[in-house]
Amino acid sequence: MALKDIIPSKPYVMFGGKGGLGKTTFSAATAFYLAQQGHRVLVFSVDPQASLSDIFQRDIFGKGPVEIIPNLYAQEIDADSHIKAYQQEIRQKILDMYGFDQVPPEIEDYIQAASAEPAMEESAIFDAVVDVVVRGDYDYYIYDLVHL
């Protein structure tokens, strides 16, 4: 089977599966193929291991969509920075709501504990991915999923 045979009619393509299976390789190859066909393509991941940076030999981590070749953009979402921004949003809401000068230590402890929950990371990743998919104007979105 050739790569072109697995390209669906939908603009969203996801590569998932166990570690080392070829997700990043296939994501990059599919994105490259589609870009060469003249489509505007974004390939992205939330993998902190920055493997799209490796495969394209460019440091793209946390930098937004970076143009690799004409029509081909790659993005590595920095999930940690999204979690930190989310924590800051919560702190600001508490300060505004209660008129505190600083966040009380017991609330800060709670914010830290809540951020350690896997659900917080998933939620931050989900928000970031929704932002990417909703905002962009690409013909195809190729999602290189993380195997946790």
Ligand X SMILES: Nc1ncnc2c1ncn2[C@@H]1O[C@H](COP(=O)(O)OP(=O)(O)OP(=O)(O)O)[C@@H](O)[C@H]1O
95 binds, among ligand X, Mg ion, none (CB under 5 to 8 A by kind): none
Residue list 36-95, contact with ligand X (CB under 6 A): 47, 51
22 binds, among Mg ion, ligand X, none (CB under 5 to 8 A by kind): ligand X
Q: What angle do CA 94, 97, 99 make, to 5 degrees?
A: 90
Among residues 60 and 103, whose Cβ is nearest to Mg ion? 60
- Residue corresponding to tokens 């990371």: 121
- Sequence-separated (6 or more) residues with CB below 8 Å from residue 52: 24, 27, 28, 43, 44, 45, 60, 74, 75, 76, 144
Among residues 25 and 115, whose Cβ is nearest to Mg ion? 25
76 binds, among Mg ion, ligand X, none (CB under 5 to 8 A by kind): none
Number of residues that bind ligand X (CB under 6 A): 10
Binding stretches for ligand X (CB under 6 A): 19-25, 47, 51, 147
